[in-house]
Amino acid sequence: MVSQRNSCVSITAGQARACTVREALDRVGGKWSIGILVAASQGPVRFTELERQVEGISRRMLTLTLRNLERDGLLHRRVYPTVPPKVEYTATPMALELYESLVALTAWAERHRTAITEARAAYDREHGAPAD
Residues lying near a second copy in the complex (CB under 8 A): 4, 6, 10-12, 14-15, 17-25, 27-29, 31, 34-35, 37-39, 41-42, 53-55, 70-73, 94, 97-98, 100-116, 118-120, 123-124, 131
| Angle, vertex CA 92, rays to CA 91 and CA 95, nearest 5 | 75
CA-based end-to-end distance of the chain: 48
Is 120 among the residues that bind DNA (CB under 7 A)? no
Task: Estimate the share of the chain in helix, then strand, then coil, as percent rounded to the nearest 5.
Answer: 60, 10, 30
Could you tell me how many residues make up the chain?
Answer: 132
Is 57 among the residues that bind DNA (CB under 7 A)? yes
Q: CA-CA distance, 42 to 88, in Å (whole number)?
A: 12
CB of 117 to DNA, least distance (A): 18
Among 8, 19, 38, 87, which residue interacts with DNA (rule: CB under 7 A)? 87
State the residues that interact with DNA by CB under 7 A.
Answer: 30-32, 46-49, 56-61, 63, 66-67, 77, 84-88
